[in-house]
């Protein structure tokens, strides 16, 4: 972590704009169903309050496509923050308009204003310089604490106009992911799931330079099976990536990395919760059936390998975890991993984090990233715009 944080500059009494990731799930009544991302921002907010700052928060929520849409209002976030902090968080009804300017102009030390959803203005995602400049004019310091959007070069990254530093959540994410990748205790095992090989090409390529074992699960496994000449039935398969799958297996062999693929798979007749299902060997997937999960033999094989690990990084579910009968593999590996002792376990956000939270065992892992897409790009070794723009130490 070679970037400055709020600790490294004088924030006392200043007006500070904090980019948070409050992109939380809401139910049909606009109640927050998982407040993890809001809780994750609290250490930075509390530090600023303790230093008598005037705190201006901004975030996106959902995909309002550059239009004002009350379904994506941050009002539920303002209420949740008020409850968690034990003090009022005022919500502006715009981003850089009259409401935002009036509320932020008259702030006293220790007060908090939350701007309305930054994606209500199309200029945010367009990375419009004029929009960023107006946003910056509300404050004296910019703090990026939104790791979940750090891979996007959007205009709320107002670092061109203000001194810009990392918040504590951003610092934590970069430290955990960075340390895990740069100096892992070995054996170092990576688990990769998800639908497509194409989504993870860069990650697989990068991890093959670092890990001792790479376990593959989820829909991407069937592209590997097909590349080996086996029938995959109706399973998700990228026919244009078969040569790539072969080359990745060859690279693993050349690097001395143990690349593990499922040895059995749970297949279903249709893409629905209660479909007829059965477990077959990976070489014997029948026509008309679709692979939705790893089987019991694979679970045991992966658990045996994980029992030897000292560092594990996991990104992507190992099956269709949204359907209970095909969540068995993901859940079994998650529970096993959570119960391992003296192992650093890092979950790379996204669906794998959602699966673990669904099980209620999040506290059993060393670190669960708040950013799926950002953690993927970090694992690839890409530079994240939301990090690159911050002041160096």
- Residues noted as catalytic: 37, 196, 350, 373
Q: DSSP letter for 17, please.
A: E
Task: Measure the CA–CA gap between 146 and 173, rounded to whole angstroms.
Answer: 10
CB 345 within 8 A of CB 218: no
First to last CA, the chain: 9
Task: Measure the CA–CA gap between 330 and 231, rounded to whole angstroms.
Answer: 24
Instruction: Quote the crossing angle between the two packed helices 350-359 and 372-380, to the nearest 10°.
Output: 130
Compute CA distances 233 → 45, 195, 276, whole Å: 52, 16, 15
CB 61 within 8 A of CB 77: yes
Task: Measure the CA–CA gap between 265 and 293, rounded to whole angstroms.
Answer: 6
Task: Measure the CA–CA gap between 245 and 201, rounded to whole angstroms.
Answer: 9
Task: Measure the CA–CA gap between 220 and 58, rounded to whole angstroms.
Answer: 36
Task: Measure the CA–CA gap between 251 and 143, rounded to whole angstroms.
Answer: 41
Task: Measure the CA–CA gap between 196 and 219, rounded to whole angstroms.
Answer: 6
Task: Measure the CA–CA gap between 342 and 305, rounded to whole angstroms.
Answer: 15
Task: Measure the CA–CA gap between 340 and 352, rounded to whole angstroms.
Answer: 17
Task: Measure the CA–CA gap between 340 and 309, rounded to whole angstroms.
Answer: 9
Is it true that the peptide bond before 187 is cis, omega within 30 degrees of 0? yes
Q: Provide CB contacts within 8 A for 371, sequence distance 6+.
A: 21, 147, 148, 149, 150, 151, 173, 349
Opening angle at CA 171, ends 121 and 1, nearest 5: 120
């Amino acid at each position: 972590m070679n970037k400055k944080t709020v600790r490294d500059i004088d924030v006392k009494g200043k007006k500070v704009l904090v980019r948070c990731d409050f992109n939380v799930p809401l139910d049909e009544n606009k109640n927050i169903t998982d407040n993890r991302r809001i809780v994750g921002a609290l250490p930075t907010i509390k530090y600023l309050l303790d230093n008598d700052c005037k705190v201006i928060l901004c975030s996106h929520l959902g995909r309002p496509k550059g239009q004002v849409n009350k379904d994506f209002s941050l009002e539920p976030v303002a209420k949740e923050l008020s409850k968690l902090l034990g003090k009022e968080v005022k919500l502006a009804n715009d981003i850089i308009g009259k409401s935002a300017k009036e509320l932020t102009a008259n702030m006293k030390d220790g007060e908090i204003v939350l701007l309305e959803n930054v994606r209500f203005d199309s200029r945010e995602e367009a990375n419009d310089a004029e929009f960023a400049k107006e946003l910056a004019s509300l404050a004296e310091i910019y703090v990026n604490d939104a790791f979940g959007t750090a891979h996007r070069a959007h205009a709320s990254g107002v670092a061109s106009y203000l001194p810009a530093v990392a918040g504590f959540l951003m610092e934590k994410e970069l430290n955990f992911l960075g340390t895990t990748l740069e100096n892992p205790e070995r054996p170092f095992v990576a688990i990769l799931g998800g639908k497509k090989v194409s989504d993870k090409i860069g990650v697989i390529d990068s991890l093959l330079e670092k890990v001792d074992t790479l376990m593959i699960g989820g829909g991407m496994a069937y592209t590997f099976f097909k590349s080996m000449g086996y029938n995959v039935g109706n399973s998700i398969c990228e026919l244009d990536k078969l040569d790539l799958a072969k080359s990745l297996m060859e690279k693993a062999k050349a690097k001395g990395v143990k690349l593990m693929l499922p040895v059995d798979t749970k297949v279903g007749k249709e893409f629905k919760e209660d479909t007829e299902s059965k477990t077959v060997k990976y070489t014997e997937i029948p026509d008309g059936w679709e692979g939705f999960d790893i089987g019991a033999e694979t679970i045991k094989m992966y658990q045996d390998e994980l029992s030897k690990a000292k560092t594990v990084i996991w990104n992507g579910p190992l099956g269709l975890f949204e359907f209970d009968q095909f969540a068995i593999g993901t859940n079994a590996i998650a529970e096993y991993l959570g119960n391992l002792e003296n192992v650093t376990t890092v979950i790379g956000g996204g669906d794998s984090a959602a699966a673990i939270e669904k099980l209620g065992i999040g506290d059993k892992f060393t670190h669960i990233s708040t950013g799926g897409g950002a953690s993927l790009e970090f694992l690839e070794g890409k530079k994240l715009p939301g990090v690159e723009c911050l002041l160096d130490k």
